[in-house]
Amino acid sequence: MHWWIPTNASSYGGDVDRIFYIILYITGFVFLVVEGGLLVFLVRYRRREGRTAAYIHGNNTAEIIWTTIPAVIVVMLALLSQKVWSTVKDPAHFPADAIPIGVHVKQFEWQFTMPGPDGKLGTDDDIFRKNELHLVVGRNYAVQLTSQDVIHSFFIPAFRLKQDVVPGMTIVAWFRPILTGAFDLACAQLCGVGHYRMQATVYVHSAEDFARWQTAQGAPATAAPVATDTTMGSMAMPHSGGTR
């Protein structure tokens, strides 16, 4: 168990973390100032015998200041976040060499269709696995997400990636793992009584280990019943409002 966020394991995770910490420091500072001021006022202006309250109708200067400062901070955060958001979510910024992976989700299971040695989906050497995804470190991947029933959410904390999977849509998300190891994949959207069982493992191998794993799979299994594209050019636009 991590007491804080897990170690970053994706190429853009550091940028996501940077924005997170900037927001955390700003909101943490504001929290301390506000709560500290509240404590000071509670003590300094507490009820005392023989002392009556003073009624103040407002201060325009103070109101302008405490409205302008938060507005400027919010605009600055939006500008800082835009580049990171575009890198992660905008299809125009997806790597052209991303390897496609079919991800079909249903209550309460993850189904992965990984390309075989030819690197393409929809061919005879595709590899189908339930609740386990195998990748090569340092390579770009584009997951093509489809849902069979309800809204699910594709969430890999170590990759700093979360994307809703909406029935009737093919939503594409990309990532590049930078560390080898086993990483948790979970559904971050309440999807039914078995939601707690929506767990899978992402295994990131070195190129040599992945080649051995791929060879050990033998004849390819039957692919999952999911329509997937074989090129980056045919990817669907992510539904930006569907992220959590």
The tokens describing 40, both together, are: 């000071």
Among residues 176, 85, 171, the alpha carbon closest in space to that of 135 is found at 176
SS3 122: coil
Average pLDDT per 10 consecutive residues for the chain, totaling 244 residues? 84 95 95 95 87 81 92 94 93 94 96 91 91 96 96 96 96 97 96 93 96 79 45 43 40
Residue 56's pLDDT is: 79
Assess contact for 105 and 111: CB atoms under 8 A. Answer: yes
Fold category of 95-242 in CATH = Immunoglobulin-like (2.60.40)
Full-model pTM:
0.80
Residue 236's pLDDT is: 45
Terminal-residue alpha carbon distance, the chain: 22
Assess contact for 171 and 239: CB atoms under 8 A. Answer: yes
User: What residue spans of the chain are helical by DSSP H?
Assistant: 13-44, 60-89, 207-216
Residue 2's pLDDT is: 67
Give burial (CB, 10 Å; 0-12/13-18/19+) of 203.
middle
d(CA 207, CA 205): 6
Residue 21's pLDDT is: 95
Domain boundaries, the chain: 13-47+57-89, 95-242
3 state SS for 21-85: HHHHHHHHHHHHHHHHHHHHHHHHCCCCCCCCCCCCCCCHHHHHHHHHHHHHHHHHHHHHHHHHH
d(CA 46, CA 212): 73
